[in-house]
Amino acid sequence: MRLALTSIQIARFIITFSWLYHGIFPKLVHISPLEKVMTASIGLSNELSYLVTKLAGVSEVIFGMVFFVYYRNKYIVLLNILGLSSLLIFVAIFQPQLLIEAFNPVTTNIALIGFSFIILNALKDEFNNE
């Protein structure tokens, strides 16, 4: 039996993986130096910065799981686009030098937003064919 993944499923898996990975590894397992820089840039103390980073990690993991289950919900996909856009704007305002680093939020977030539009277009086509 051959498993054929549709573009919507590939986009779903990539978006979910990204939220889970970015929530677990640079925030929950080990707080990356860049995470510390970003939370420090808004004036948080070390203790509050630690708490905010851990809460952000948990939130990202929860959203990744919600997205995986409810990826066919237009509002969840739009929330994904809004969240990714907001995070990109946050970095542009508070840590603009990160926008020119390797593997930066521009390339990551724009790609994930693009996958979100693939899902929205596929959902639109499915609903129009019913």
Quote the pLDDT of residue 130: 55
Residues 94, 12: Cα–Cα separation, whole Å: 30
Q: What is the pLDDT of residues 96-130, one digit of tens each?
A: 999 999 889 999 999 999 999 999 999 987 767 65
Residues 92, 96: Cα–Cα separation, whole Å: 4
Q: Is the pLDDT at 54 greater than 80, yes or no?
A: yes
Quote the pLDDT of residue 103: 84
More confident residue, 40 or 72: 72
Averaged pLDDT, 49-66: 97
